[in-house]
């Protein structure tokens, strides 16, 4: 009797496995869903979006497991020719309303609100041209980005070079800066409330703005929800502008599905970036991203933000050798870090050591690294700031050795061409 039961169970498992293989084969045989046309401007492309709201209509649909190719333009929808010019004082366009020019949203058939969507990145094909800006939008810009610099890169599948940065070659480590799902109405209300409160308190917030918003009928001037559409500048619990350089080919990111179909959108492709993206931009580019999706079983708790997983090689620096500096949260007495000024602390200015401040530690590590790049390789302040943004990793080394949390800045030395 026992052997008969085991035999029956074995046959059952074989049948289930066969059905799973058949289903996978059928899904693989489905045509690839292709979304986006970067040959035209964002305002002309119905699949281009740059705001987040539950009323934004989906532009395509795909079943779990079906390949989706997102063709996307760079974050600011620029058209650049590196043969005409290599650098400029500022970006050759006015306003920041267009950012980020995303592609989507795509509805995942069968996904329901409350599910967790697993998005696996299969490959990303870079465009031929990229750009980087250093200046007012950077980390501690009043300390490092006292001037401005905008440069253009020539890209291929191996590396990036710029006439404005002779002696530097950045290896291809392409990834999407933005991977997001659409918010539901409850989450939208919570975000609007907390960000409005922060803005009124003096914090840095990009509040809803209809200027250059897409889709215009929902988020633009006169749109049905123009005062509610979230800007894509910060990451939030549903993903968004995470700017995580480890989301390369072979990794899977887990996102909350807040509305039926999830509303998956991507964009803000980066050719390369250091941890921190300190000057305010990476090597920004357009390109094509291929992904597959599945609805996660035994899903993770995403209350504090998305999870992701992948090969450990994605965590390494693109270099055989490195040089690193460290930073701790110390400062000149009488000064207040700009990111803390809105708190109006009566104690902060007089302190020369700020307990547990990881931002100040990161600023000090970055200051030491910029100084090292300038002195060792001969670049000026803005060039060094820009190099740090596309290549230097800011990493937390410890959080427990009070009062001084530690940050290290890691420079991959192989990016410098023709040097030992």
pLDDT of amino acid 10: 59
- Reported as type and span, the H/E element at residue 375 is helix 358-377
The pLDDT tens digits of the residues spanning 240-271 come to 999 999 999 999 999 999 999 999 999 999 99
- The yes-or-no verdict on residue 15 having pLDDT over 80 is no
pLDDT of amino acid 89: 85
- The yes-or-no verdict on residue 21 having pLDDT over 80 is no
pLDDT of amino acid 376: 98
Single out the residue of 113, 76, 75, 112 nearest to residue 94, CA to CA: 76
* pLDDT class of 13 with cuts at 50, 70, 90: very low
C-alpha separations of 378 from 268, 272, 372 in Å:
31, 22, 9
The pLDDT tens digits of the residues spanning 98-127 come to 999 999 999 999 999 999 999 999 999 999
Level-2 CATH architecture, domain 31-312: Sandwich (2.60)
The pLDDT tens digits of the residues spanning 204-219 come to 999 999 999 999 999 9
Mean pLDDT of 142-167: 95
- The yes-or-no verdict on residue 17 having pLDDT over 90 is no
Q: Tokens at residue 324, please?
A: 């690193």
- The yes-or-no verdict on residue 239 having pLDDT over 70 is yes
pLDDT of amino acid 7: 56
Task: Calculate what percentage of the chain has a pLDDT beyond 70.
Answer: 93
Judge whether 317 and 119 are in contact, CB under 8 Å: no
The ranges assigned to domains in the chain are: 31-312, 322-415
Q: Look up the CATH number of domain 322-415.
A: 3.10.28.20
Backbone angles phi, psi at 149, to 5 degrees: -150, 135
Single out the residue of 184, 399, 179, 188 nearest to residue 308, CA to CA: 179
Q: Which residue has the higher pLDDT, 87 or 8?
A: 87
The pLDDT tens digits of the residues spanning 375-407 come to 999 999 999 999 999 999 999 999 999 999 999
Mean of per-residue pLDDT scores for the chain = 93
Judge whether 276 and 389 are in contact, CB under 8 Å: yes
Mean pLDDT of 9-22: 51
- The yes-or-no verdict on residue 128 having pLDDT over 70 is yes
The pLDDT tens digits of the residues spanning 315-344 come to 999 999 999 999 999 999 999 999 999 999
Judge whether 253 and 119 are in contact, CB under 8 Å: yes
Task: Calculate what percentage of the chain has a pLDDT beyond 90.
Answer: 87
C-alpha separations of 70 from 62, 67, 102, 251 in Å:
12, 10, 9, 17
Judge whether 53 and 219 are in contact, CB under 8 Å: yes
């Amino acid at each position: 009797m026992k052997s008969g039961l085991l035999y029956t169970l074995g046959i059952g498992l074989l049948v289930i496995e066969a059905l799973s293989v058949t289903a996978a084969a059928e899904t693989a045989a489905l045509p690839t869903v292709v979304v986006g046309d970067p040959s035209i401007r964002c305002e002309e492309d119905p699949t281009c979006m740059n705001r987040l709201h539950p009323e934004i209509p989906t532009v395509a649909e795909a079943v779990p497991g079906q390949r989706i190719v997102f063709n996307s333009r760079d974050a600011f929808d620029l058209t650049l020719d590196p043969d005409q010019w290599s650098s400029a004082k500022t970006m050759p366009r006015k306003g920041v309303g267009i950012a980020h020019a995303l592609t989507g949203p795509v509805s995942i058939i069968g996904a329901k609100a409350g599910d967790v969507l697993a998005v696996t990145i299969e490959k990303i094909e870079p465009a031929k041209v990229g750009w980087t800006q250093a200046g007012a939008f950077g980390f501690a810009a009043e300390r490092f980005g006292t001037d401005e610099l905008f440069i253009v890169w020539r890209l291929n599948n191996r590396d990036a070079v710029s006439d404005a940065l002779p002696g530097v070659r950045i290896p291809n480590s392409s990834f999407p800066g933005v991977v997001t799902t659409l918010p539901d109405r409850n989450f939208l209300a919570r975000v609007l409330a907390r960000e409005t409160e922060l803005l009124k308190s003096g914090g840095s917030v990009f509040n809803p703005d209809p200027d250059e918003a897409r889709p215009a009928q929902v988020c633009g001037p006169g749109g049905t929800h123009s005062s509610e559409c979230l800007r894509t500048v910060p990451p939030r619990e549903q993903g968004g502008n995470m700017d995580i350089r480890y989301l390369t080919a072979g990794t899977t990111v887990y996102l909350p599905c807040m509305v039926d179909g999830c509303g998956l959108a991507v964009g803000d492709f980066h050719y390369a970036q250091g941890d921190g993206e300190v000057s305010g931009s990476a090597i920004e580019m357009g390109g094509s991203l291929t992904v597959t999706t599945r609805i996660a079983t035994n899903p993770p708790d995403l209350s504090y933000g998305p999870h992701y997983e992948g090969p450990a090689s994605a965590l390494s620096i693109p270099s055989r050798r490195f040089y690193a500096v460290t930073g701790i949260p110390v400062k000149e007495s009488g000064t207040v870090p700009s990111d803390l000024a809105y708190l109006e602390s009566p104690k902060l200015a007089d302190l020369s050591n700020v307990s547990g401040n990881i931002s100040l530690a990161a600023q000090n590590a970055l200051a030491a690294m910029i100084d090292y790049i300038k002195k060792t390789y001969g670049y000026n302040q803005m060039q060094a700031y820009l190099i740090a943004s596309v290549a230097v990793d800011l990493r937390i080394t410890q959080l427990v050795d009070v009062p001084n949390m530690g940050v290290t800045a890691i420079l991959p030395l192989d990016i410098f061409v023709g040097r030992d």
